């Protein structure tokens, strides 16, 4: 594993250093509240009352993000972002970090909650995402720079 799981405090520092916060929650979750400035590419999508794998996740990532782009992945509790990071690593993405507690928080083996981004009292953005929603990203057709794209 070349990527690391990070704390909320580490995530703040990474974002301040220019890392892209990639929210892999569903579009519906992203629209309700998110880390300011984040982009949304859901790892799973809502179908009926359940989450199912997003079969466009890999294509979207390949088309819109370079292999060397610094990406900090997050979801609600750390489960989806953990799986998404493993997938992206296999695709050749090299600059990955994953927010271990996610946006809301995660529970340990004893049921104790470790606060995520929002429950730690960090800034939260609501309302329009100004070109950073999944629909907005899909509508762009710009491939990543060739030197960062990896194999075709």
Active site residues: 75
Structure tokens at 97: 């970090």
- Quick one: DSSP state of residue 133? S
Q: Where are the beta strands (DSSP E) in 7-144?
A: 20-23, 39-40, 44-47, 50-53, 71-74, 96-99, 105-107, 113-115
> H or E segment at 40?
strand 39-40
Q: How far apart are CA 70 and CA 92, in angstroms?
A: 13
Return the CA Rg of the chain: 15
Place of tokens 């997003």: 54
Per-residue HEC secondary structure of 120-134 comes to CCCCCECCCCCCCCH
């Amino acid at each position: 594993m070349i990527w690391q799981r990070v704390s909320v405090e580490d995530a703040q520092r990474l974002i301040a250093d220019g890392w892209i916060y990639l929210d892999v929650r569903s579009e519906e979750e992203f629209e309700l509240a998110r880390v300011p400035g984040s982009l949304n590419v859901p790892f799973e999508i809502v179908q009926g009352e359940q989450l199912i794998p997003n079969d466009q996740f890999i294509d979207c990532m390949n088309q819109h993000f370079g292999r060397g782009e610094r990406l900090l992945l997050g979801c609600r509790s750390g489960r989806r972002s953990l799986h998404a990071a493993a997938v992206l690593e296999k695709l050749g993405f090299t600059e990955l970090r994953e927010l271990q507690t996610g946006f809301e928080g995660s529970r340990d083996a004893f049921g104790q909650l470790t606060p995520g981004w929002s429950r730690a009292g960090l800034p939260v953005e609501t309302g329009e995402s100004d070109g950073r929603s999944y629909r907005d990203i899909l509508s762009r057709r710009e491939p990543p720079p060739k030197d960062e794209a990896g194999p075709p």
